[in-house]
A = this chain, B = another copy of it.
Amino acid sequence: MVKITDVARHAGVSPSTVSYALSGKRSISRETRQRIEASIRELGYRPHAGARALASSRSNVVALVVPLRTGMHVPVVTQFAVSVVTGARGHDHDVLLLTQEEGEDGLRRVADSALVDALIVMDVQLHDPRLPLLRSLALPSVLIGFPAEPAGLTCIDLDFRAAGEACVEQLALLGHRCVALVGSPPEVYVRQTGFARRVARGFTAAADRHGLASSIHPCEASGAAARRTAERLLREHPALTGVVVHNEAVLEPLVDAFEQLGLSVPGDLSVVAICPDKLAEAARTPLTSVAIPSAEVGARAVELLMAKLSGAPVPVSTLLPPRLTVRASTGPRGTG
C-alpha cells in the first residue's frame, strides 16, 4: 500500500505538505503542488479512509435509511436513493445503506462509531420514534417527509398538500363539480404517514373552497382493489366526474376498470394522478399528473446535508412546489 510518506519522499516534501495539498487547507506554491500531484498520480496514492477519519473526525460517509414498508412505491424509493448517492459523490462523500429495520439502534450505532458523519432518513412518520434520537444526535441529519413537529430538525419533501390542491384546482377549472380521491393503502394512513394525510387535506380544502362535492377512498395496491374501488365510486357517487389518484400501483388498473365499467377517460371521467412523471407518461392513456420528483428531492436533501456539515444555517422546512402537467386523462366536464 502506498502511503502519504511515500508520496512525500517521492515529491521531496513533508507529509504534512502532501496532506495540505490534498485538502487545500493552506496555500501551496504552484510548483510544489504540481510535483505532489505528479507523485500522487505516478504512485497511485489513495488516502486510507480509516486513518483519515481517525485523524480528522470526518468519515466522509453519510448514512441513508431506506424504508421497507408495504405501500411504499419501490421505484420512487430507489430513484431517490440513487440521486442521494450521485449527489453525495459530487461532494466527495459516500453513502452507507441502512434499512428501516435497524431502527433507532442502527442510527445510534453508525453515529456513535463515527462510521458516518451525517444522516438522511426517508419515510418519516408523523410521530416517528426516531425523532427524539435525531434531535439529540450530534450529527446533522435531513429527513425526507414531515413529522407532526419538525422544529429542531431539517425536513424536505414535495408539498403534498399543495399537490392535492393543485389536482382539485385543475379539475375545478375544467368544470367538474364532484370529485374523489383514491389514496394510498389504508395501512399508510393508519401508520400516520404525513404525505398521505397532507394530500387528503389539500384535496378536501380545495374542494371545499370551490364548492365541489368530495370524498376520499384509501385503496389497496392491487388490481382487484382498484376494480372494487372503481365500482364503489360509481355506485356511491353517480355524479362523479373527476378523480385524483395518489397510489402508483393502481393507476392503470383503475383507469382500465372505469373504462370496462363503460366510462371513457377523459370523456366521462377526468383523472389526475400524483405520481412520478415516468409513470404518468407511460400509461396507456397518458395521465395528467402532479410529479413526485424523487430525484430532485434526493439532490436537494444532499445539498441541505452538506450545508449543515459545513456549518451553514438551513431552513427547518423545504417544501417543493407541485408541478402539474396536463396530459390526455383530463378534459372539461360533460365532453362524453
Binding site for B on A (CB under 8 A): 1, 44, 46-54, 59, 61, 64, 66, 68, 74-75, 77-78, 81-82, 85-86, 89, 94-99, 101-102, 108-110, 112-115, 222-224, 252, 282, 284
**In the complex, are the beta carbons of B99 and A97 less than 8 A apart?**
no
Tell me the complex Cα distance, A64–B82, Å: 13
**In the complex, are the beta carbons of B44 and A54 less than 8 A apart?**
no
Residue of B nearest to A76 (CB): B74
Residue of B nearest to A102 (CB): B89
Tell me the complex Cα distance, A78–B102, Å: 17
Tell me the complex Cα distance, A52–B115, Å: 11
**In the complex, are the beta carbons of A54 and B59 less than 8 A apart?**
no
Instruction: Report B-chain residues with C-beta under 8 Å of the C-beta of A101.
Output: 86
Instruction: Report B-chain residues with C-beta under 8 Å of the C-beta of A98.
Output: 85, 94
Tell me the complex Cα distance, A139–B42, Å: 22
Provided the pairs A54-B54, A78-B74 are in contact, do residues A48 and B113 lie with their beta carbons within 8 angstroms? Answer: yes
Instruction: Report B-chain residues with C-beta under 8 Å of the C-beta of A112.
Output: 44, 46
**In the complex, are the beta carbons of A95 and B94 less than 8 A apart?**
no
Instruction: Report B-chain residues with C-beta under 8 Å of the C-beta of A59.
Output: 49-50
Instruction: Report B-chain residues with C-beta under 8 Å of the C-beta of A74.
Output: 74-75, 78
9 closest residue pairs by CB, A with B: A50-B53, A46-B112, A50-B54, A49-B115, A49-B113, A97-B97, A50-B50, A46-B113, A95-B97
Tell me the complex Cα distance, A110–B101, Å: 26
Query: Which of A78, A97, A284: most chain B CB closer than 10 A?
Result: A97
